[in-house]
Amino acid sequence: MKIRLNQEASGTLRANSLVFAKGQVWKTERGFVAINRVGKLLIDYRLLKELGQRGVRAQMVTPAGLADFLQANAGHLIKGA
């Protein structure tokens, strides 16, 4: 699968039909993905088992990697920024 990336001026990042922005929460089969920051090349996120969970290590991934993960794990947006 080929993923196209577009950086927008508003601080959001688009990978194919997925748009990533700070504050988004995605529901997947494995839990929740909370996006902390969106940069030009990487996305800072936390993988939570439950909403509101604390003390979870932040991880960084490319937008293409996060888009692949969300598509493979049936991710859908539950809270947008």
Full domain range(s) for residue 24: 5-79
Q: Which residues of 33-52 are buried (b: 16+ CB within 10 A; e: fewer)?
A: bbbeebeeebbebbbbeeee
Which range among 8-12, 18-22, 52-56, 75-79 shows the weakest confidence by mean pLDDT?
Answer: 8-12
Coil, helix or strand at residue 34: strand
pLDDT over 70 at 10, yes or no? no
pLDDT band with cut points at 50, 70 and 90 for residue 70? very high
Query: How many structural domains compose the chain?
Result: 1
The model's pLDDT over 13-61, given as tens digits with 9 standing for 90+, comes to: 555 567 889 999 999 998 999 999 999 899 999 999 999 888 899 999 9
Has this prediction a pTM greater than 0.95? no
